[in-house]
């Protein structure tokens, strides 16, 4: 939870460092709420399976928790971090996101940065160093991003919807169950307002025009 003055409150288990409290946590007191020390000006926070990502007002991204797949944005040789680590900084960033084992950030102008696990194409591009935050080169002008467990959805400013990542349950909406390695447009015949990626499913809010209805688009 982000406080009015830009602080961060956390609760739950800290067994893998996901609270960012160092050794100062007690898993037996599951109702406790604590403030992450020495962290201020927070404007965005996201919680993954066992990690946390934060964006500060100056564009600095920090993360902590499990790092088995580099989802913190640092070398997986660092298995876990119990305190916030500064990952990278970009003044254009406006929001951060977290999947189970990958992370993402969206800029004010619509670029998407990703890092972490890429086993199913979650990062949207081939990566030599998956833990290093890098921009997805084929995706621009994103107005809304949603990060699911292991797949992602992005809506562009002109109402197009793109999906990529794990597709074993057809959650990428491509009509098959093959993992999607790069952002691929779906629902091409409608204007998409919002889209949301869940654990193994997705849904979108779309606008139908008279032309869509006459053509029988579904």
Q: Distance (Å, rounded) from C-alpha 21 to C-alpha 29?
A: 14
**85 found inside a domain:** yes
* CA end-to-end distance (rounded Å), the chain: 39
State both tokens at 218: 């579904």
Host domain of residue 79: 9-215
Quick check: 67 and 79 in contact, CB under 8 A?
yes
* Size of the chain in residues: 218
Nearest to 8 by CA among 41, 48, 32: 41
**2 found inside a domain:** no
Q: Distance (Å, rounded) from C-alpha 81 to C-alpha 70?
A: 11
State both tokens at 136: 């997805």
**4 found inside a domain:** no
Helices (H), 74-209: none
Which residues have CB under 8 Å from 42's CB, separation 6+? 2, 6, 7, 8, 54, 55, 56, 57
Q: Distance (Å, rounded) from C-alpha 8 to C-alpha 5?
A: 9
Per-residue pLDDT of the chain (218 residues; tens, 9 = 90+): 999 999 999 999 999 999 999 988 888 776 789 999 999 999 999 999 999 999 999 999 999 999 999 999 999 999 999 999 999 999 999 999 999 999 999 999 999 999 999 999 999 999 999 999 999 999 999 999 999 999 999 999 999 999 999 999 999 999 999 999 999 999 998 999 999 999 999 999 998 766 665 555 54
**3 found inside a domain:** no
**1 found inside a domain:** no
Coil, helix or strand at residue 110: coil
- What's the CATH code of the domain at 153? 2.130.10.30
Cβ-defined contacts of 106-109 (< 8 Å, 24+):
106/142, 106/145, 109/141
Quick check: 138 and 183 in contact, CB under 8 A?
yes
For residues 162-180, one letter each, b for 16 or more C-beta atoms within 10 angstroms of the residue's C-beta and e for the rest, the string is bbbbbbeeebbbbeeeebb
* Res 215: pLDDT: 56
* Res 175: pLDDT: 95
**120 found inside a domain:** yes
The pTM (predicted TM-score) of the whole model is 0.93
Provide the β-strand partners of residue 67.
Answer: none
- The number of folded domains in the chain is 1
**197 found inside a domain:** yes
């Amino acid at each position: 939870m982000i406080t009015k003055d830009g602080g961060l409150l956390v609760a739950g288990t800290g067994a893998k460092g996901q609270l960012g409290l160092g050794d100062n946590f007690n898993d037996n007191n599951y109702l406790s709420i604590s403030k992450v020390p020495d962290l201020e000006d927070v404007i965005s926070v996201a919680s993954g399976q066992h990690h946390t990502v934060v964006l500060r007002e100056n564009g600095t991204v920090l993360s902590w928790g499990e790092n088995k797949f580099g989802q913190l944005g640092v070398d997986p040789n660092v298995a876990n971090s119990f305190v916030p680590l500064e990952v990278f900084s970009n003044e254009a960033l406006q929001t951060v996101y977290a999947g189970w084992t990958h992370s993402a950030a969206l800029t004010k102008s619509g670029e998407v940065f990703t890092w972490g696990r890429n086993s199913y194409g979650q990062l949207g591009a081939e990566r030599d160093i998956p833990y290093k935050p890098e921009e997805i080169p084929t995706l621009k002008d994103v107005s809304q991003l949603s990060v699911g467990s292991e797949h992602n959805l992005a809506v562009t400013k002109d109402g197009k919807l793109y999906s990529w990542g794990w597709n074993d349950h057809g959650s990428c909406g491509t009509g098959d169950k093959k993992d999607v390695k790069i952002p691929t447009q779906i629902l091409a015949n409608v204007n998409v307002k919002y889209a949301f990626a869940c654990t193994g499913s997705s849904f979108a809010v779309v606008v139908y025009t008279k032309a869509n209805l006459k053509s029988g688009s579904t």
